[in-house]
A and B are shown apart, each in its own frame.
Chain A
Amino acid sequence: MGKVYIGCGAGFSGDRFDAAVPVVETLATCEGDRFLIFEVLAERTLAIAQRLRLNDPDAGYSPYLDHYIAPILQAAKQHKIRIVSNLGAANPVGAAKRIHAIAEELGVEDLKIAVVLGDDLLQVYSADAIRELPTMEGISLGDQEIIAANVYLGARAIADALALDVDIVLVGRTTDAALTLGPLIHVHNWAADDWDRLAQGTIAGHLLECGGQVTGAYFADPGFKDVPNLAEVGFPIAEIDADGGLVIGKAAQTGGLVSRATVTEQILYEMHDPANYLTPDVTLDVTGVRLQDIGPDRVRLTGARGKPPPATLKVTVSVDGGWLGEGEITYAGPNALARAELAASVIRRRSQILGIQEPLRVDIIGAGAVHDNDMSAKRRHKVLAGDGEYRVRAALRSMDQKTAQQISDEVQSLYCSGPAAGAGVRQYVSRQIRTASVLIDPENVLPHVRVERVMP
């Protein structure tokens, strides 16, 4: 059996829209089965998609679908590069129909698409039943409306969908690594208990799923970790043989870097116990992983080990998180820090006068905001330059949109009613979603999972 080549075209919802183009050009030159994945579904992205679908039954797939698919659809079909993606979000069938429409606009003929359905727990459980499940975070879901509850499906369903002999597989919620492992199971026919090969396929997926994060993006630190041509960073392509042999590379003639350092950072990204990374397909152990530089921008990974997966499946439950209100204003030049401190104290006092009860955070950006805590403990112990540029930022969360808007407006009012020369106000008031995780018995969900073709 030959090699499988899997490239990644997006690592999050909003990732660079043209990154997949060089990936497809490179895949077109590879001998073997070729796949392109797009991973665009964060926990909150799905809840937002679910809300869109409630308003419009045809909506609810990724709002960026056209941006990712249109530039590469023709070339992918022509070179038999199959696409596997969670662009389906809350409506994989809707996404498939939209891609058929794009295909017609572009003159791409005979496009075959399948979807994986059954990740939506609200189709199986009542909202009340979901609210009663204990959350892993130990928080209560209360009596709030459940916006979305989706099960992390594994790679088997994607392999089943590929078996329908299609060009594209669209899913809603699966593990990110399943987008890669599914094609590998389909081509290499790995058994459900072939733990070590499944582990190699899962680590391949873990490395691909964040796009450029394994090829020098989210990595560059000038003078310490230099990365060539970050503006055209090449997205990753993994080569995986039937034994699980894995090489990570990237699209040809692009910027970026694949090295042991870039790969090591991404192996441990969002990983807790490295001997027990839980997925529905396999429990991955990376403690024996070794990396070898085998050429320019090519790293071989060996030694991932697998164990049986946990007995439960993880579900992300999303509920209304109210509103986040923010406002920012800048002070620059002589004595800017003192003017910023004064602005911060004015905002705090105004919030008292207005009777706002919600916790308020006021940062001074330039004085260590993101590294500080809610009380600015670090700033108060620092010796900072009095002159310079400092940006005051106020933020609070409220279930009441008006309160969120109020604090943002208080920052705006500092233009004329605050310290001297306040400048560059920006206001943000955004709707929030709160998520929690629950565990369920696969027997309650897997019988509802199905794959089907979607016709134009």
Chain B
Amino acid sequence: MTMIEVPLHAVAHGRAGDKGNRCNISVIAYNPDLYPLLLAQATAARVLKIFSFRGASDVRRYALPHLGALNFVIDDVLEGGVNGSLNLDGHGKALSFLLLAELTVRVPRAELPEGSPYLL
């Protein structure tokens, strides 16, 4: 099987939500069969590394196998949150797409749909 390294965005989707200075980001495999692969590769430690430049102090990962989803809870990543952040996006709503862009995974090439920009 030919494997290919792609950003999560190629094979998964997600959504970010805020509570104070804490952000949660869900990561959901388009194909539920890919869930074990995400579970193995999308670790809390890798997510913490991606967000450490914004002051993230801890990441907890919750697994939801029936939904083919992971939920990451990232502490102190919102630079104060809506209470104090100077970021245009104080809620961190756009952070789901930062994770989908920067966390890469190795997946079977055949998992990417025909015409996916990530095949180029």
Indicate whether A and B interact.
yes
A residues with a Cβ closer than 8 A to B are 44, 136-137, 218-219, 221, 223-225, 261, 264-275, 286-291, 303, 321, 359-361, 363, 365, 369-374, 377-378, 393, 395-397, 434-435, 437
| Contact A370/B66 with A137-B21, A269-B15, A272-B19 known, Cβ cut-off 8 Å | no
Interface size class of B (residues with CB under 8 A): 35 or more
* Per-residue interface assignment for chain B, residues 42 to 59, with 1 indicating a CB less than 8 Å from any chain A CB and 0 otherwise: 000000000001110000
Closest to B19 in A: A270
Q: Is the CB of A264 within 8 A of B69?
A: yes
Bound together, the chains give a CA A246 to CA B67 distance in angstroms of: 16
Q: Is the CB of B9 within 8 A of A373?
A: no
Bound together, the chains give a CA A271 to CA B69 distance in angstroms of: 13
Max chain B Cβ within 10 angstroms of own Cβ: one of A218, A287, A365, A370 = A370
Q: Is the CB of B83 within 8 A of A435?
A: yes
User: Does B98 touch A at the CB level, under 8 Å?
Assistant: yes
Bound together, the chains give a CA A336 to CA B15 distance in angstroms of: 33
Q: Can you list 27 residue pairs at the A/B interface with Cβ under 8 Å?
A: A137-B21, A223-B117, A224-B13, A264-B68, A264-B69, A265-B28, A268-B15, A268-B17, A269-B15, A269-B17, A270-B17, A270-B18, A272-B73, A273-B60, A273-B62, A275-B62, A289-B67, A290-B67, A321-B83, A361-B87, A363-B88, A371-B95, A371-B98, A373-B54, A374-B87, A395-B88, A397-B84
Q: Is the CB of A290 within 8 A of B18?
A: no
Chain A residues with Cβ below 8 Å from B19 are 270, 272
Chain B residues with Cβ below 8 Å from A395 are 86, 88
| Contact A265/B73 with A321-B83, A359-B86 known, Cβ cut-off 8 Å | no
Chain A residues with Cβ below 8 Å from B73 are 272-273
Interface of chain A: mostly helix, strand, loop or mixed = loop
Q: Is the CB of A265 within 8 A of B14?
A: yes
Closest to A303 in B: B66
Chain B residues with Cβ below 8 Å from A377 are 53
Partner of B89 from the list A136, A274, A370, A434 (CB cut-off 8 Å) is A370
Chain A residues with Cβ below 8 Å from B97 are 371
Chain A residues with Cβ below 8 Å from B95 are 371
Q: Is the CB of B15 within 8 A of A290?
A: no
Q: Is the CB of B88 within 8 A of A268?
A: no
How many A-B residue pairs have C-beta atoms within 8 angstroms? Tell me: 106
| Contact A225/B66 with A268-B24, A373-B53, A397-B86 known, Cβ cut-off 8 Å | no
10 pairs of A and B residues whose beta carbons are closest in the complex: A270-B17, A361-B86, A268-B26, A370-B89, A265-B15, A395-B86, A370-B94, A373-B54, A371-B98, A269-B17
Q: Give the distance to chain B from A296, nearest Cβ to Cβ, in Å.
A: 19
Q: Give the distance to chain B from A288, nearest Cβ to Cβ, in Å.
A: 7
| Contact A271/B67 with A371-B94, A377-B53, A435-B83 known, Cβ cut-off 8 Å | no
Bound together, the chains give a CA A7 to CA B95 distance in angstroms of: 30
Closest to B16 in A: A269
Chain B residues with Cβ below 8 Å from A221 are 13
Chain B residues with Cβ below 8 Å from A136 are 20
Chain A residues with Cβ below 8 Å from B66 are 287-290, 303
Q: Is the CB of A267 within 8 A of B87?
A: no
Bound together, the chains give a CA A365 to CA B87 distance in angstroms of: 11
Bound together, the chains give a CA A372 to CA B24 distance in angstroms of: 17
Partner of B87 from the list A225, A266, A370 (CB cut-off 8 Å) is A370
Chain A residues with Cβ below 8 Å from B62 are 273-275, 287
